[in-house]
């Protein structure tokens, strides 16, 4: 545990954010890959959710003090609930894609939030107000 706590925070956060972005890319392509692009609600849910989740991951990566990874927890929860909320549970490919990607997004966002919480406020400081790199201190 101590080894993780003394590691380079930027590397850990970037790897979690990269995994979330990869899941978002997969979700964006899923309607064509799994053949449910003819279902408007499921397709639009996948496309819009993928853009929102990827955008929040990029924000979390670039500006860590904003804590956008917590918003991605809700993005993952939305993906899990979307098949019921938008009534496309009859398509197993759309259903399982949303549920599995949502679970993955929630897992990576929770791990990222936990790491940032363990780092404490002193570990995450912007170097300068115009600094877009995120600047994690190790």
Work out the pLDDT band at 1, boundaries 50, 70, 90: very low
Domain total in the chain: 1
Average pLDDT over the chain reads 82
Token look-up 């009534």 returns 87
Q: What are the DSSP calls for 30-97, one per residue? A: HHHHTT-TT-HHHHHHHHHHHHHHHHHHHHHHH-GGG-HHHHHHHHHHHHHHHHHHTT-TT-HHHHHH
- Residue 135 located in a structural domain: no
Cα dihedral angle (125, 129, 134, 138), rounded to 10 degrees?
-30
- Residue 129 located in a structural domain: no
pLDDT at residue number 50: 96
Q: What gap in Å lies between CA 48 and CA 1, rounded to an integer? A: 37
Structure tokens at 110: 């929770």
pLDDT at residue number 104: 96
Q: What gap in Å lies between CA 40 and CA 58, rounded to an integer? A: 27
- Residue 130 located in a structural domain: no
Domain that holds residue 80: 2-122
Residue 46's CB is within 10 A of a number of other CB atoms, namely 29
- Residue 134 located in a structural domain: no
- Residue 136 located in a structural domain: no
- Judged against a pLDDT cut of 70, whether residue 67 lies above it is answered with yes
- Judged against a pLDDT cut of 90, whether residue 53 lies above it is answered with yes
- Judged against a pLDDT cut of 90, whether residue 48 lies above it is answered with yes
């Amino acid at each position: 545990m101590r080894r993780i706590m003394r590691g380079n925070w930027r590397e850990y956060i970037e790897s979690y954010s990269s995994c979330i972005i990869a899941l978002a890319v997969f979700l964006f392509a899923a309607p064509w890959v799994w053949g449910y692009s003819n279902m408007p609600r499921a397709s639009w849910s996948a496309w819009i959710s993928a853009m929102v989740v990827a955008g929040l991951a990029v924000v979390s990566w670039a500006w860590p003090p904003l804590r956008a990874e917590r918003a991605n927890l809700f993005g993952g929860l939305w993906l899990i609930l979307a098949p019921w909320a938008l009534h496309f549970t009859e398509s197993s490919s759309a259903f399982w894609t949303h549920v599995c990607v949502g679970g993955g997004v929630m897992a990576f966002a929770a791990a990222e939030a936990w790491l940032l919480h363990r780092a404490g406020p002193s570990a995450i400081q912007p170097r300068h107000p115009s600094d877009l790199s995120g600047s994690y201190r190790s």
